[in-house]
Amino acid sequence: MTNNNYPDIIFIGQPNCGKSTLFNAIAGLKAETSNFPGTTVKHTHSRVNVQGYILNIIDLPGLYSLVPGDEAEKVALSHLFYEKPDLIINVVDASSLARNLELTLELIEMGLPMIVALNMMDLAEKKGLRIDIQRLEKELGVPVIPTVATHGRGLKELLEKAIFILKNGLLVKPLGWSKDVEDGVYRLEKILPSNFPVVANRRFTAIKMIEMGSHYFQQLLSEIYLPLKQVLDEVKNQLESSHDAPAYEVVAAERHHLAMKIFEKSTRIVRPAKRPFLHRLDDLLMHPYLGYLILGLVFLGFFFIVFSIGSPLEELVLGPFEQLRSFLFTNFGQGMAVSIIDGLLQGIGGGLGIVLPYFIPLLFLMGLLEDVGYLARVGFLMDVFMHRIGLHGKSISPFILAFGCNVPAIVSTRILESRRDKIITTLLIPFIPCSARTTIILALVAFYLGPWWALGFYLFHLLLVALIGRVLSFFFKEPSPGLILEIPELKIPSLKNIGKKTVFQLRSFLNFAWPILIVGSVVLALLQSLGIDRILNYGFSPLVVKGLGLPQELGVTLIFGFLRKELSMIMMIQALGTNYHQLMSVITPAQIVIFTLFVSLFIPCLSTVAMIWKELGRKIAFLSVALNLGVAVIFSFLAKSFFNLIGMI
Amino acid sequence: MDYHRYIPLVSAPPEKKLKIIEIQGGHRLRKRLFDMGFHKGDEIILDMRGVLRGPILVRRVSSDTSVAIGRGIAQKILVEIIGDEQ
């Protein structure tokens, strides 16, 4: 995996078992975590020093089994199979032990040294599961360490055990199945040619040959190893006729029964007499009617909380910056140096006054909703609408991620199996208002025109997503497979967790967006003092003035908007040569709405375009840009005509 | 098989213990459901039914965990009613 001699430790487990949380607890904040299945679609590497030992630790996307379904799973498997790790840490959700054990059994079949980290022990205990660790260890034949990653419990023991095994090795033996299945596997294993590309070990390879249904693989096999193919077919037919099920299911069922047996032997269930409070709350949250009412209220609450925290702060921060600027102008005149310092002040002030007051509470509340597990409930409630607009049930996860940031949402479309679904979902994602755009909607539309305007704007945005989805799925006709979404348990939020996550996401603004904003503001100031902005504005004027009915000066901000959308919005004040108190004297409310609408839609931000290009190729990236541009022009123009009609312009 | 005792999960009554008899569907769907912990013979409970042909919420008895399943898929899961929840 890496070119040095440090041992590689792979973290592997089913989705939402807390792998990334455990990984972060060991490596520091490196991987994105959430209480929402399928957040990790790429692997994360980190090097840690444990008691003087340097270890390479790798966090892989969640896997249900070692036979890959989607692309994210394939990534995980290629790591596991071809770059033999020195140790596997199988992270298991103790509260869902029976199902998680199926993957554990499959990993044991690989025969590599491994440890089971029995995570979420607190949740398991709350659910009344009493797990006998020693018994489980004995049944599985590998060490089991109980952990609670969110509180850092059990990490020390886990790492100590890891180092112990790295030093002393561990023999992992597969657990036996029913006789006829074992016989079939053995028969195949025995005749594997010595030069056959074996994965992990011969038995494991034989099992996987039975489980793999791929037509390509079968074809290849019959061309290269015809006798082997004949035996494989015989074994499969035998299993199929005696079990009355496809061969791969026979094998999976063996694992399932073994997992259930081990679960029953090692666990006692003490069910609480009353349905726990969180379950009863869940009944309300997912209620067929009340659920939607609650969703609406949560959305409204979210909006107004962020606004009522942000707007007084915005006022508080921008005031002193304005004073500083007017002090600058009255004392030092209008020279180029002054312009540059003024640009600097605007850039710093914009980040501090316009973005952060809204962005921080917004990230925090989003983290809260996700940490309690509400996002998966939103997925459940929204699925019906997703189908109305012709979309795949699985697309709900990328969509929900997109409200945070479009870029990881596009990466996460890897969980979709068909290219058609990937393309439609990817084309729609840039229309979803991400946290940065929501911030701008609040800081400009809500701040200047009132929160109801902002809310209406936001809802219009969502309606637009539905409309475009409907149109797109009309062009890409194909039945879409349905939803299967794991609904994680509701849990009491951990402030520490949410705080960490907020900081994690804030970093990208502080390290990337804010510096660009500051540089951008200085560049704009420079352009203005050299008079170059007028040339650019003139070039844009057919669109900006004729098409959208906006002041000509706003043209130049569109260039910056391609880097990050919020730049255009923040730099609007600077471009108009005014300050935030007097903004409304040079621009009308309708113009603010039209401009915000246009900027919010006109092009996916640079990082999003780059990610689309990387994931789906140049054509789709250009298609996405063209689609956004088209939609932005059409709807901004419609908005202008509407405002004209009601006499607001 | 005595099919008339069996009903598709989508039209099963809520809050009754159900046993999965068969999953009618292609390799892909069967594998997905298998991976998510739905096997022949497993016991499940239908907890909630969304409005307007929305998904249904199913709880696995063995692990007490919930999964949302779209109607189309629930149509393909054949179950038998085996008793009340408790």
What chain A holds in terms of domains, given with CATH numbers, is 8-168 (3.40.50.300), 179-269 (1.10.287), 290-645 (no CATH)
8-state DSSP, A513: I
- Choose among A534, A539, A639: nearest CA to A588: A639
At which residue do the structure tokens 């496809």 appear? A246
Chain B residues contacting A via beta carbons under 8 Å: 27-37, 39-40, 47-55, 57, 60, 62-73
Q: Helices A202-211 and A226-243 sit at what angle, rounded to 10 degrees?
A: 60
CB A210 within 8 A of CB A236: yes
Q: For chain B, give every domain's residue range.
A: 3-84
Q: Report d(CA A184, CA A274) in Å as an integer.
A: 48
Predicted local confidence at residue A115, as pLDDT:
96
The whole-angstrom separation of Cα A24 and Cα A22 is 5
Instruction: Say what the pLDDT of residue A2 is.
Output: 46
Q: Is pTM beyond 0.90 here?
A: no
Number of H helices, E strands in chain A: 31, 9
pLDDT of residue B51: 74
Residue ranges in chain A modelled with pLDDT below 50: 1-3
Residue A102 has a pLDDT of: 92
The pair of three-digit structure tokens given for residue A544, joined into one six-digit string: 């900006």
Indicate yes or no: CB of A482 within 8 angstroms of CB of B65. no
For residue A489, the chain B residues in CB contact (below 8 A) are 65
The per-residue pLDDT for A118 is 95
Give the per-residue pLDDT at A274.
Answer: 67
Chain B contact probe: residue of A268, A380, A381 with most B CBs at under 10 A? A380
Residue from A97, A99, A215 to probe the interface with B (highest B Cβ count within 10 Å): A99
Please answer yes or no on whether B33 and A484 come within 8 Å at the CB atom.
yes
Distance from CA of B21 to the nearest CA of A (A): 13
Nearest CA in chain A to B36: A64
pLDDT digits (tens, 9 = 90+) for A470-524: 888 777 766 666 778 888 888 888 888 888 888 888 887 788 778 888 888 888 8
Report residue B32 as tokens: 């997905």
- At the topology level of CATH, where does B3-84 sit? SH3 type barrels. (2.30.30)
Nearest-Cα residue of chain A relative to residue B66: A487
Partnered with residue B77 across adjacent β-strands are: B23
pLDDT digits (tens, 9 = 90+) for A157-172: 999 999 999 999 888 8
Between A528 and B51, where is the model more confident?
Answer: A528
Q: How far apart are CA A371 and CA A280, in angstroms?
A: 18
Distance from the Cα of residue A618 to its chain's centroid? 23
Q: Which two tokens stand for residue A20?
A: 């990334």
The pLDDT score that the predictor gives to residue A1 is 44
Token match 């709807």: residue? Answer: A635
Q: What is the pLDDT of residue A45?
A: 78
A67 chain-B contacts, CB cut-off 8 A: 31
Element (H, E) at A290: helix A290-332
Q: Measured between alpha carbons, how far is A362 from A368 in angstroms, rounded to an integer?
A: 10
Q: Is the dihedral of CA B38, A90, A214, A256 positive or negative?
A: negative
For residue B29, the chain A residues in CB contact (below 8 A) are 481
Using CA coordinates, name the residue in chain A closest to B62.
A98
Q: What is the ipTM of this complex?
A: 0.86
Side chain identity at residue B6, one-letter code:
Y
Would you call A246 and B35 a contact, using CB atoms and an 8 Å cutoff?
A: no
Closest-CA distance, A15 to chain B, in angstroms, reads 10
